[in-house]
Amino acid sequence: MVLAVAFVGLGSGGGGREQSLREAASRSGLLIGTAVRPAQLSEASYASTLAREFNMVEPEDALKWEVVHPEPQSFNFSQADQIVDFATRHGMKVRGHTLVWHRQNPKWLTEGKYTSEELAQALEHHIKAVVGHYRGQIFAWDVVNEAFDELHPGTLRSTIWRDQPGLTSSFEPRDSSGPASSDLGARNSQQSYSYIERCFRWAHEADPQALLFYNEAEAETVNPKSDAIYTMVRDFRQRGVPMDGVGFQMHIANLHTDVASISTNIKRFTAFGVQVHITEMDVALPVDAKGNARPEDLQRQADIYRQIASACLAHPGCSAIQTWGFTDKYSWIGSHSKHTQGTALLFDHNYRAKPAYEALRSALKLGQR
């Protein structure tokens, strides 16, 4: 399908065309991205809105293990390749998501019986094959996603990677020749994140140019989880572990966001030289049986998009803002909330810009740096 409708107006009427998000963002030196589902790329309105508004894309599910690594010895890159191809044709960067997570893994992995050495080999093989396939094409990776626990702050979540048999034992004791021993006291009070370190090192070997991120949910504000991540990231940086940034997912599920705390958190991470990417932003609103939100909530949602964008732009190390999809027609929030919430994104079901879109664009225009 030919994308001849790439520059439709946005209800501005008359003469001059309004700036798109990507135009406003590039003037601020910021990447503006969105998660993408390959099946939708053949839909003209989806593709034209995507190409017009964003300068970065990220496969929403296409690079998760269950899609990309369906059998132990075979990979299926066809879905993610479609997205990378679209990005290439439209001058967009690609973020990769995600190499290590506890969800959306294939049964052969979760139900197989492996020793920790075999599990480590499978993980190394996966990371090097996937990162290697996209070497030079995917500029930044969420290497590890959501490894810290919600319920027990400061500890690692129980996952196939951490336990039963887990990888940690195969990486302990760690090499004692480096300067790490001074940190061991602090680290021993937590569960070891040595497996995370190994993942970053493998990814770096597969593509030394790629930026490597640790991505997390519910660590956007200063809180026990972001404190634990901060400790890990500082340790990694001090010891030269190849880690470039932290992703704050930014799935906002109520309208009482503590933007000041988010800003303080961005500041403390960027202060020691790591980049921050806002990686999965959406702002879920309560909806009625027809899926409609109240007009005043749409306005408050717009304020949150504006404030988060401004908080990012205030810190030069905050280099990307990405939304988790861009049209309410395709958003994970509906099924995730059992349809009690919705309308979380910048465009409605018919690709009309919502107040959130206008608010984000005005923040991008104002925040030039």
Instruction: Find the binding residues for ligand XIL in span 251-310 (CB under 6 A).
Output: 280
What DSSP state is assigned to residue 140?
E
- Residue 50 corresponds to which tokens in the numbers above? 């995507």
Among 193, 332, 351, 357, binds ligand XIL (CB under 6 A): 332
* Residue from 345, 324, 316 nearest 30 by CA: 316
- Name the residue nearer to ligand XIL (CB basis): 129 or 217: 217
Determine, following the binding rule CB under 6 A, whether residue 61 of this chain makes contact with ligand XIL: yes
In the chain, the amino acid numbered 203 is A
- The minimum distance between CB 335 and ligand XIL, in angstroms, equals 7
- The minimum distance between CB 365 and ligand XIL, in angstroms, equals 29
- Name the residue nearer to ligand XIL (CB basis): 149 or 280: 280
- The minimum distance between CB 35 and ligand XIL, in angstroms, equals 7
Measured CA to CA, the distance from residue 340 to residue 334 in angstroms comes to: 7
Determine, following the binding rule CB under 6 A, whether residue 227 of this chain makes contact with ligand XIL: no
Tokens 């500890």, residue?
Answer: 155
Determine, following the binding rule CB under 6 A, whether residue 195 of this chain makes contact with ligand XIL: no
CA distances (Å), 347 to each of 296, 324, 332, 352, in order? 17, 12, 14, 5
Among 249, 265, 301, 327, binds ligand XIL (CB under 6 A): 249
Measured CA to CA, the distance from residue 129 to residue 146 in angstroms comes to: 22
Determine, following the binding rule CB under 6 A, whether residue 60 of this chain makes contact with ligand XIL: yes
- The minimum distance between CB 332 and ligand XIL, in angstroms, equals 3
Determine, following the binding rule CB under 6 A, whether residue 322 of this chain makes contact with ligand XIL: no
- Residue 205 corresponds to which tokens in the numbers above? 């070997």
Provide φ and ψ at 178, rounded to 5°: -85, 180
Tokens 């702002």, residue?
Answer: 283
Task: Catalog residues that contact ligand XIL under the rule CB under 6 A.
Answer: 60-61, 145, 217, 249, 280, 332
